[in-house]
Amino acid sequence: KANILPYETIRSIIESDYKMPINQVFKEFQRQPLGSASVSQVHKAVTFDGKVVAVKVKRPNVEQHLTSDIRIMKFFALLGMTCSRTLRKFQLYGVVVFFEAWIRQDIDFRLEAKNIKIFREQELSNSSEKYKVFCMDIVDELCTDNVVVMDFVEGIPVSKKKELFENKEYDIYKTIETYMNAIIKNWFRDDISEFFFQADPHLSNIIALPN
């Protein structure tokens, strides 16, 4: 886990992006984060129209730290290729360049908001009366270069099997069946021009919903 950013830092980022006090952006904002990672920190909030949301805030100076780290990686990649025939064979410098392109997409919050919308539309097409799929949506007007605001999902991660088995409102078997049905439908899509998939499908990333 990354170090938790103090609320004052999060508030400063939000107020800088929105050009207004945080209490004019959100009706309620939970100071304690739901989670904190290397790129961002997530807080629960409520909008003025009563929508419960998750607010993902990018850490300050992420781009500068990334640029510095990549510069070091490129230096050692070139040094390694100079000294090692094996590293030259595997084109280590090219691997670092590819990694840089990938990770820069990962910290592009505008791109993330766009991808969430595409993924939602794609997955909702896999939903049916029998297999009800829910994907979070974003709040367009509240998304910025440093903040992504999206639906807050109340549910139980499938990894918490004991909790699911003991709660009669949940059906873990139906949840997994629905999830697998959505995946298989995606495999056989006719239009794959913008094909999105769940790239990190461990059980804590799949949320069971009541009923």
Using an 8 Å Cβ cutoff, are 41 and 25 in contact?
no
Contact, 113 vs 151, CB < 8 A? no
167 alpha carbon, distance to own chain's centre = 28
pTM of the model: 0.84
- Report pLDDT digits (tens) over 69-97: 999 999 999 999 999 988 889 899 999 99
Contact (Cβ atoms closer than 8 angstroms) between residue 144 and residue 17 = yes
Which tens digit of pLDDT belongs to each residue from 185-196? 877 777 666 677
Cβ atoms 131, 209 nearer than 8 A: no
Closest-CA residue to 165 (of 208, 116, 120, 107):
208
pLDDT of 130 over the 90 cut: no
